[in-house]
Amino acid sequence: MALIQETDYGTPLRIAETMVTLEIDGRSVTVPAGTSIMRAAVGLGIQVPKLCATDSVEPFGSCRLCLVEIEGRRGTPASCTTPVESGLKVHTSSPKLSRMRRGMMELYISDHPLDCLTCGANGNCELQDMAGVVGLREVRYGYDGANHLKSEKDQSNPYFTFDASKCIVCSRCVRACEEVQGTFALTIQGRGFASVVSAGGKDFLDSECVSCGACVQACPTATLMEKSVLEKGQGEHSVITTCAYCGVGCTFKAEMQGNEVVRMVPFKDGMANHGHSCVKGRFSWGYATHKDRILKPMLRAKITDPWREVTWEEAIGHAASEFKRIQAKFGRESIGGITSSRCTDEETYLVQKMIRAAFGNNNVDTCARVCHSPTGYGLKTTLGTSAGTQHFDSVEHADVIMVIGANPTDAHPVFASHMKRRLREGARLIVVDPRRIDLVKTPHVKADYHLPLRPGANVAVINAMAHVVVTEGLVDEPYVRERCDIAAFDAWRKFVAEERNSPEAVEEVTGVPAADLRAAARLYATGRNAAIYYGLGVTEHSQGSTMVMGMANLAMATGNFGKLGAGVNPLRGQNNVQGSCDMGSFPHEFSGYRHVSDDAVRHSFEQAWQVPLQSDPGLRISNMIDAAIDGTFKGIYIQGEDIVQSDPNTKHLTAGMAAMECVVVQDLFLNETASYAHVFLPGSSFLEKDGTFINAERRIGRVRKAIPPKAGLADWEITVKLSEALGYPMPYQHPSEIMDEIARLTPTFAGVSYELLDRVGSVQWPCNEKAPMGTPVMHIGGFVRGKGRFMITEFIPTDERTTDRYPLVLTTGRILSQYNVGAQTRRTENNVWHSEDVLEIHPFDAENRGINEHDLVALTSRAGEITLRAHISERMQPGVVYTTFHHAVTGANVVTTEFSDWATSCPEYKVTAVQVRPAKKLSEWQQHYQETRKQTTQIMSETHGD
Amino acid sequence: MQTETMVHNANQIALFFASYPHDEALAGVTDHLQKFWERRMRQQLLEYVDHGGHGLHELVLEAAKKIRPAA
């Protein structure tokens, strides 16, 4: 293995139908029209010297190093800003060019510290490289003139430093912030010699910077530098892998020194991120080596006992014997398990296999239960497959983008940057969200329409949009006639055309001005390629599945499936939540979304696994908890999921957990669920194993082992051992063998193998004989189910109603710097941005209650009460409050209720009737939590002490 | 599962399918209960129906007859 140095082509790729042939240094090259001479030269292996150019940003032409000569033309144009022309004869080197370049370098170096040997960028500095390339041997101007060498170093950001003394003001960072990230946090302040890069605020931490790392990556010197590199030095080898945070699934190079990660750098060939990153993937990987990692298996008889460290054999043997004992006493269906959306496909596949084959039941579920299960149900019902329809790059072809119930700049930041780039190019934007999320108005992006609906009114809004489409003659009739079930369409058309579904009729319920809703519907239907992107603001409702079907109806009616720039696209939450669903983690489905009652499918698994399988659906997570309280469910194996923190109605959930006789938790940390566990099996981070993740665009990407498992075993190996102890051996030697089995048994994965993934990088399922290189856009030419099926989506208000006692609606969500339950990000420096969950409340509601900024407030619902700090924000609409669930101590889910989606039991996190009042102390639940948490996490051992 | 929750969940399914003509709606509710409700949940529903099925949507009551295992 070596350090992977990607080629910098200097300027971005151009795509054009016309090709241009020219000659550079006597060699002929043909490139797309619009390509720069610099990039064309790189195609011939000629690296024209450069400093201000890099292929992630548009050319700028300021450094004057990349000058070239063109026969028949005067002057020395910059090769980065000069596009190719047919027949040009270009020379990239000559005595004159050498003199000019050396002169430029003299000027740069005359105002640059000469500390190369001790500089953090030593060995990875373009300025240093260019000094060598141009043959700089002296600086005639000396070093005593006016300079910036004493400029103060900004170390405020926890992950990188800004050392202005090393800045050459090439503006690569500024342009990366604008063009790649789209935040526009950086600028060049001052003029001429006084020009400096500025983050606007008093320092980087105080600025609009979102710490995506684009500027650090673009910097050609040590000006913007990772603190980890400053501390440890440059990596000596790289491992290409996939990020373990959100569902964007960015590809990274883990740059390593032996078994230590030096930095994570976004990989340019990553098809989901194209070399971009966010603060989490780029910088927040320190949790993998955090001192809180549990590295030895542990047991305890009661959850009030301290943990006792044991051997793997003892822990696995105890778990297996307990599961067997429970089944012998309470029946085969008395145990179950939960697969992890943070683990690999191979690992989730193994867990569901062990449950179905070794436990002998279908009591398996996964975290998608509480996020995108309605996506699976709704899209399968209407289109025939349980996944988003497009690849991320499709957004580049969208003319209208409708974002519903998603906050991509926080939750899917790398895709948000991609989307914002398209919006800056002129795509129109509709935002449907109760909150004024950042995307509504952000630098150079402004939504054409923001429909600030009341939480719970999604279906009324989508029906009203469909009403406009149907009654104003905006249906794509030929498309519908050719592609869809006409009887179902006619019934749907009749339904949505009813006056009660008009924007005017539902205005009181939705809170959305009818005129805006009509205008937005017209824009969506007539704006050529219209794409819907949505998040948990769609799914986490009592009508989550209905809303997914409603969006599919609207897209079908307007012909927005089966082409670039369109589709219905879930922005999935966790890194492998798509994969965990694909792998058969639901209690009613095998891998590839095939129901357990399908005899032919079940027999294929029985034959492969050599064991009879159940044809009846098993329990969902919420059903397992109910059954535990009822006394019929007694044991559970939970791999990498913290249901006690993430799932709703904490008191109900913990009552169920406490009622079980054997809870086995496999995780990196003693998470909240582990407080109710009897067996703890130390898991492995994404850096410690091989496997695959599948992102929101169905892209299967490799996860590669960069370091050995810190606790000795990868998660898949733990499941293999547990299954063997249960009497069902699964003798895999490597995760590739598991993927081979998945491919054999799952038609949509038939063509997938590690060999293919290693060869091409990644593929999107379906990947099989019909689509050997995968399927970026689905439903081209026809829907997977045959004819698209319109579903009638009657708006049925949630039973969670506001009352005089609970007059406000709480909606919960995520923020940029923390991830899900925070188990990973809370163990990083990200806490500097978000150290506690706060309650966002509109000024009107705050004033009515005598609440000031940062006051402690009690948040009460019929399920429970917590206290947290108030943040007064006009992003909220009056009557709606918002918080996050990233910090266990807050207990946000103490307040949420058991109401859930009618079809999938996905909890209704987005609508909880609450009251808010000033408070002086923590809630009873929080006090109890603080008292008991210490006890339930106590470890008794030689290393940890008692 | 608490009885109240069970009744609520079953009725929510019925309310979705109630938009369809009766036979289609009944088939939808029946299919959903069979494909997504675990045996214990179906059993709880049937026992509740045996005790009068108070508060259950008409479609759930009809579907219950169809999902009842043969004696």
Nearest by CB to B38, from A617, A898, A902: name it: A617
Across the interface, do B36 and A617 touch by the CB < 8 Å criterion?
yes
Closest-CA distance of chain B to residue A903, Å: 7
For A315, the token pair is 């822990």
What is the spatial distance between Cα A665 and Cα A386, in angstroms, rounded to a whole number? Answer: 29
Across the interface, do B39 and A616 touch by the CB < 8 Å criterion?
yes
Confidence of residue A946 (pLDDT cuts 50, 70, 90): very low
Looking at chain A, which residue has its C-alpha nearest residue B32? A903
Which pairing describes strands A298-299 and A679-682: parallel, antiparallel, or unpaired? antiparallel
Amino acid letter at A699?
R
Closest-CA distance of chain A to residue B51, Å: 19
Which pairing describes strands A865-872 and A838-841: parallel, antiparallel, or unpaired? parallel
Amino acid letter at B2?
Q
Q: What 3-state DSSP class applies to A285? A: coil
Looking at chain A, which residue has its C-alpha nearest residue B15? A796
Give contacts of B15 with chain A, Cβ < 8 Å.
794, 796, 902
Closest-CA distance of chain A to residue B1, Å: 5
Nearest by CB to B35, from A617, A619, A620: name it: A617
Across the interface, do B37 and A617 touch by the CB < 8 Å criterion?
yes
Q: What is the DSSP string of A127-177?
A: HHHHHHHTT----TT-S-SS--TTPPEE--SSSEEEEGGG-----HHHHII
For A820, the token pair is 């899900």
Across the interface, do A902 and B13 touch by the CB < 8 Å criterion?
yes
Across the interface, do A794 and B18 touch by the CB < 8 Å criterion?
yes
| Residue B71: per-residue pLDDT | 72
Q: What is the DSSP string of A557-605?
A: HTT-SSSTT-SEEE--SBTTHHHHHHTT-STTEETTTEETT-HHHHHHH
| Residue A945: per-residue pLDDT | 42
Decide if A821 contacts A645 (C-beta within 8 A).
yes
Decide if A41 contacts A47 (C-beta within 8 A).
yes
Decide if A223 contacts A126 (C-beta within 8 A).
no
Looking at chain B, which residue has its C-alpha nearest residue A799? B8
What is the spatial distance between Cα A619 and Cα B40, in angstroms, rounded to a whole number? Answer: 9
Q: Which residues pair with A663 in a beta bridge?
A: A636
Across the interface, do B16 and A794 touch by the CB < 8 Å criterion?
yes
Across the interface, do B38 and A623 touch by the CB < 8 Å criterion?
yes
Nearest by CB to B15, from A363, A796, A904: name it: A796
* Residue A542 contacts B where some CB pair is shorter than 8 Å: yes
Across the interface, do B1 and A630 touch by the CB < 8 Å criterion?
yes
Give contacts of A588 with chain B, Cβ < 8 Å.
35-36
Helix axes B3-17, B58-67, angle to 10 degrees: 100
Q: How many A×B Cβ pairs under 8 Å?
A: 58
What lies within 8 Å, CB to CB, of A210 at 6+ separation is A181, A183, A185, A278, A279, A413, A816
Buried b (16+ CB within 10 A) or exposed e, A464-473: bbbbbbbbee
- The residues in A 324-353 lying below 8 A from B, measured between CB atoms, are 333
Q: What's the CA angle centered on A835, arms A832 and A836, to 5 degrees?
A: 160
What is the spatial distance between Cα A845 and Cα A242, in angstroms, rounded to a whole number? Answer: 43
Report ipTM for this prediction. Answer: 0.97
What is the spatial distance between Cα A908 and Cα A798, in angstroms, rounded to a whole number? Answer: 9
Domains of chain A: 298-371+576-687+706-728 (3.40.50.740), 373-570 (3.40.228.10), 808-936 (2.40.40.20)
* Residue A630 contacts B where some CB pair is shorter than 8 Å: yes
List the single best residue of A495, A623, A624, A902 to mutate versus B (max B Cβ within 10 A): A902
The arithmetic mean of pLDDT across residues A618-638, rounded, is: 97
Residue A944 has pLDDT above 90, yes or no: no
Q: What average pLDDT is seen over chain B? A: 96
Q: What 3-state DSSP class applies to A378? A: helix
Closest-CA distance of chain B to residue A827, Å: 37
What is the spatial distance between Cα A164 and Cα A149, in angstroms, rounded to a whole number? Answer: 8
* Residue B3 contacts A where some CB pair is shorter than 8 Å: no
Across the interface, do A618 and B36 touch by the CB < 8 Å criterion?
no
What is the spatial distance between Cα B24 and Cα B30, in angstroms, rounded to a whole number? Answer: 10
The arithmetic mean of pLDDT across residues A499-511, rounded, is: 98
The rounded percent of chain A whose pLDDT value lies above 70 is 99
| Residue A941: per-residue pLDDT | 61
What is the spatial distance between Cα A779 and Cα A384, in angstroms, rounded to a whole number? Answer: 9
Q: What's the CA angle centered on A873, arms A872 and A879, to 5 degrees?
A: 90
Decide if A702 contacts A735 (C-beta within 8 A).
no
Decide if A691 contacts A345 (C-beta within 8 A).
yes
What is the spatial distance between Cα A734 and Cα A732, in angstroms, rounded to a whole number? Answer: 6
A941, exposed or middle or buried, with CB in 10 Å at 0-12, 13-18, 19+?
middle
Across the interface, do A630 and B13 touch by the CB < 8 Å criterion?
no
What lies within 8 Å, CB to CB, of A319 at 6+ separation is A637, A662, A664, A679, A681, A722, A725
| Residue B70: per-residue pLDDT | 82
Residue A943 has pLDDT above 80, yes or no: no
CA-CA-CA-CA dihedral for A18, A24, A26, A27, to nearest 10: -50
Query: Starting at the edge strand that comes first in sequence, how are the strands of the sheet with A260-266 ordered?
Result: A237-242, A251-257, A260-266
Give contacts of B40 with chain A, Cβ < 8 Å.
333, 619, 627, 630, 632
* Residue B8 contacts A where some CB pair is shorter than 8 Å: yes
φ, ψ for residue A390 (rounded to 5)?
-120, 165
Across the interface, do B40 and A902 touch by the CB < 8 Å criterion?
no
Looking at chain B, which residue has its C-alpha nearest residue A798? B12
The arithmetic mean of pLDDT across residues A477-500, rounded, is: 98
Closest-CA distance of chain B to residue A361, Å: 11
Q: What's the CA angle centered on A417, arms A228 and A189, to 5 degrees?
A: 70
Q: What is the DSSP string of A895-931?
A: T--S-B-TTT--B-TT-EEEEEEE-SS--HHHHHHHH
Residue B21 has pLDDT above 90, yes or no: yes
Q: Specify the DSSP element, H or E, that contains A339.
A: strand A335-339
Give contacts of B5 with chain A, Cβ < 8 Å.
626, 898
Across the interface, do A900 and B9 touch by the CB < 8 Å criterion?
yes
Across the interface, do A623 and B16 touch by the CB < 8 Å criterion?
no
Nearest by CB to B40, from A542, A632, A905: name it: A632
φ, ψ for residue A230 (rounded to 5)?
-60, -35
Q: Which residues pair with A530 in a beta bridge?
A: A400
Task: With CA atoms as reference, report the closest residue to A703 among A711, A694, B39.
Answer: A694
Q: Scan for tokens 């720069």, then name that residue.
A: A36
The per-residue pLDDT for range A772-814, each reduced to its tens digit, is 999 999 999 999 999 999 999 999 999 999 999 999 999 999 9
Q: What 3-state DSSP class applies to A489? A: helix
Q: Scan for tokens 């305890």, then name that residue.
A: A300
* Residue A792 contacts B where some CB pair is shorter than 8 Å: yes
Looking at chain B, which residue has its C-alpha nearest residue A491? B20
What is the spatial distance between Cα A872 and Cα A854, in angstroms, rounded to a whole number? Answer: 8
φ, ψ for residue A568 (rounded to 5)?
-120, 120
* Residue B23 contacts A where some CB pair is shorter than 8 Å: no
